[in-house]
Amino acid sequence: RKEVEQDPGPFNVPEGATVAFNCTYSNSASQSFFWYRQDCRKEPKLLMSVYSSGNEDGRFTAQLNRASQYISLLIRDSKLSDSATYLCVVIYGGSQGNLIFGKGTKLSVKP
Amino acid sequence: GAGVSQSPSNKVTEKGKDVELRCDPISGHTALYWYRQSLGQGLEFLIYFQGNSAPDKSGLPSDRFSAERTGGSVSTLTIQRTQQEDSAVYLCASSLVAGAYNEQFFGPGTRLTVL
């Protein structure tokens, strides 16, 4: 079983749509959780951290369910510029920050 | 300010040759991480440094891979006797200090192709 699993997509949505990505992780000792964004042939960039209480940043909402070992990302009012691959990332407790990545979910927003 | 830089941006080599990949972290960042991204494999952790020490080398795939960091700054990842399966994008990231809550900033990567 992969440590971090994501639906690879692609998700093809029209502008203005709401889209949700899910991610599950296998290590119950995981400590920190993130969503990264990666544009084609570019480096990953931190989109947002994910907290148990849930957190929102503009059109983006992230949720963490520790009991189910499940992380989600919701994007509202999709823009063309949201087209990218979204990477679910965890850090194990006791580690010094080495990121464990899912393989990513590809999003394509169409006009 | 300047971000993480990596060189070369692209490297094509023949099977069996050695290669060196360089990473310049953000100035003042004491932690440095190496990852690689292969087709179909996603991003995988290789090794990290806190200062010049490498407490966790668990991700290095074989003893052909090694890395060093000098002066708490530049790091070099060396792959000896390259194999075709080493072809990937090698990414470097740095953060203020090592830890679970410090954002890592990635460089643009070195795309390695082994023929």
pLDDT in tens, A19-42: 999 999 998 888 899 999 999 999
- What are B60's two structure tokens? 């290095």
Do the chains contact at A97 and B100, CB–CB below 8 Å?
Answer: yes
Residue B43's Cβ-side half-sphere holds a number of Cα atoms within 13 Å equal to 29
Q: Which residues of B touch A93 (CB under 8 A)?
A: 100
With the CA atoms of B22, B64, A43 and B103 taken in that order, what torsion angle do they form, in degrees rounded to the nearest 10? -80
Mention every residue, 6+ apart, whose C-beta is less than 8 A from residue B6: B21, B22, B23, B24, B90, B91, B92, B107, B108, B109, B110
A89 — alpha (psi -120 to 50), left (phi > 0) or beta?
Answer: beta
Dihedral of CA B30/B36/B42/B46: which sign? negative
Q: Is the pLDDT of residue B1 over 80?
A: no
- Tell me what pLDDT residue A1 has: 60
Q: Which residues of B touch A87 (CB under 8 A)?
A: 42-43
Q: Could you tell me what percent of chain A has a pLDDT over 90?
A: 78
Do the chains contact at B43 and A97, CB–CB below 8 Å?
Answer: no
Q: Which residues of A touch B106 (CB under 8 A)?
A: 43-45
User: Closest approach of chain A CAs to the CA of B42, in angstroms?
Assistant: 5
- What are A7's two structure tokens? 């639906």
Do the chains contact at B102 and A97, CB–CB below 8 Å?
Answer: yes
Q: Which residues of B touch A97 (CB under 8 A)?
A: 31, 33, 48, 95, 98-100, 102, 104
The answer for A 44-83 residues in CB contact with B (under 8 A) is 44-46
Q: Is the pLDDT of residue B85 over 90?
A: yes
Q: Which residue in chain B has the smallest CA separation from A98?
A: B45
Residue A90's Cβ-side half-sphere holds a number of Cα atoms within 13 Å equal to 25
Q: Is B95 on the interface with A (CB under 8 A)?
A: yes
Residue A111 burial (CB count, 10 A): 5
Q: Which residues of B touch A100 (CB under 8 A)?
A: 45
User: Closest approach of chain B CAs to the CA of A43, in angstroms?
Assistant: 5
Do the chains contact at A98 and B44, CB–CB below 8 Å?
Answer: no
Max mean pLDDT among A93-97, B96-100, B106-110 falls in: B106-110
With the CA atoms of A81, A90, B29 and B42 taken in that order, what torsion angle do they form, in degrees rounded to the nearest 10? -60
Do the chains contact at B107 and A43, CB–CB below 8 Å?
Answer: yes
pLDDT tens per residue across span B27-54: 999 999 999 999 878 899 999 999 999 8
Q: How far apart are CA A34 and CA A50, in angstroms?
A: 5
Q: Is the pLDDT of residue B9 over 80?
A: yes
Residue A68: pLDDT band by 50, 70, 90 thresholds?
very high
Instruction: Determine the average pLDDT of the residues in B71-76.
Output: 93
Residue B18 burial (CB count, 10 A): 11
Strand-pair category, B110-114 with B10-13: parallel
